[in-house]
Chain A
Amino acid sequence: MTENGMNLTLKVWRQKSDKDKGQIETYQVKDISEHMSFLEMMDTMNEQLITAGKEPVAFDHDCREGICGSCSLFINGEAHGPDRGVTTCQLHMRKFKDGDTIYIEPWRSKAFPVIKDLVVDRTGFDRIMNAGGFISVNTSGNTQDANSIPIPKDDADHAFDAATCIGCGACVATCKNASAMLFVSAKVSQLALLPQGKIEAKDRVLNMVGQMDAEGFGSCTNTGACEVECPKGISLDNIARMNREFMSASITSDK
């Protein structure tokens, strides 16, 4: 360790395009401060690569404050790295020590194909949302004020907890089956628990689960890894709720 910070060996997935096979490449980075976020360390690595005349590593990032869900790195064998309840931008280099070797890989899922380096295509989540992750509200100007509808506090809290899902895809990345059940169940729950969402509840759960399967995500086997790695602490309660909703809708729906 130098007086300016840590020296690290990075094993980074490089892939030119979605057609490329890709491989792990090894880079040495110097002077990494323990106060840096992981993404700042990645910025430093890229500066060093650019200075050396090499192509920088492509990775997703946006808000850098843990709410956008863009940063999607599988770090040393865990989604968003070794810390809990954080996204990659909230992971700090103090979680590592001088001389460490760090593996940095993209989310791995058939439904999340790699676009370039560490960037994956997560539009499968968008298509699932398009299949039913909404309520149909007539916005003609006379819509009832939502605050005038009484909602039990517990339901409101559970709906809000589910709505904190940022759609980062860590659940898929960490699940041994690459299942998207935690994401989809959170999006089903945030609406199913509220009066406005109950109207389309049956179609919603059937359509969203149908789209989830069509995207190629795996099936849930209740390992619970998703809940552990989720940066927002989305609970497995949501998966159980979605299972109930799905079974009920499958039996009673006209479709």
Chain B
Amino acid sequence: MALSGFFLLVFLLQHCTINFLSVINPESFNNVSHFMGTNPLVQFALQPILAFGVIFHLGMGIRLEFQNRLSRPIKYEMEKAAENATWMSRNMIITGVMILLFFGLHFYDFWFPELNTKFIIGDMSGLNAGGEFRYYEELKHKFIDPTRVGLYVVSFLFLSLHLMHGFHSAFQSVGFRHNKYTPIIKKLGMLYAIAIPAGFVFIALFHFINH
């Protein structure tokens, strides 16, 4: 869980950074999107690794949850779990499944249309009918619908909750715990868990407001 988690933390940072280009410089966003969408190394090496990382993290998470549930076949009549552990740490499966559901929307919006355009229609140019890069326009178009924007905002709230526990938990799982560094990791984790989802939300709201 931890190793795939670290990998996904790096991916999220990279994804948010590239998306942020759409706010500050649409041309750069188009160029980077085209590079990421057509570069063979990204498409046929990094993308399969990413897919494996996501599926592995998801599969291990679900397996862990079921195994752990079996470890306590009879539940307590009265349990005050909130007295000794955070909601985020106790409900990673809920926040994780919410993120999984978001993937459905996200893939429907972006990944499946990209696969269709590039590998079924066979158009690798990245250009629209007007001969310009289509990526920025497509992104903006997706964030016109307030329902979709709302779903994105809620989804990133769950991502934030997931990261609030997941970030520092990954370090603990690989045995990285130290009197000096663990408090810094926890603060950094909280910063990451707020800043990255907030960044994605900001991008969605920016395009929704400016459409």
Contact = CB atoms under 8 A, between A and B. Distances in A.
A67 to B, nearest CB: 22
B57 interface: no
Interface in A171-222: 174, 176-179, 216-222
Interface in B68-106: 68, 70-81, 83-86, 89-90, 92
A217 B71 contact: yes
B72 A109 contact: yes
B187 interface: no
A5 interface: no
A230 B86 CA distance: 17
Nearest to A227: B84
B76 A74 contact: yes
B67 interface: yes
Contacts of A109: 71-72
| B: interface residue count bin | 20 to 34
A214 B80 CA distance: 28
A78 B64 contact: no
A77 B77 CA distance: 8
A177 B85 contact: no
Contact of B86 (A217, A223, A241): A223
Given A224-B84, A240-B175, A219 B74 contact: no
B83 A77 contact: yes
Contacts of B112: none
A225 B80 CA distance: 11
A228 B84 contact: yes
B128 interface: no
A225 B76 CA distance: 16
A76 B78 contact: yes
Contacts of A174: 84
A174 B72 CA distance: 11
Q: Counting chain A CB atoms within 10 Å of each CB, which of B71, B89, B165 scores highest?
A: B71
Given A218-B72, A221-B92, A24 B67 contact: no
Given A110-B73, A244-B175, A221 B68 contact: yes
B189 to A, nearest CB: 12
Contact of A241 (B68, B76, B92, B175): B175
Given A78-B84, A224-B85, A105 B71 contact: no
State the 10 A-B residue pairs at the shortest beta-carbon distance, nearest first.
A244-B175, A218-B71, A77-B80, A240-B177, A177-B68, A228-B84, A243-B175, A103-B78, A223-B85, A178-B71
Interface of B: 64, 67-68, 70-81, 83-86, 89-90, 92, 165, 168-169, 172-177
7 contacts: A24-B77, A77-B81, A108-B75, A174-B84, A223-B86, A228-B84, A242-B175
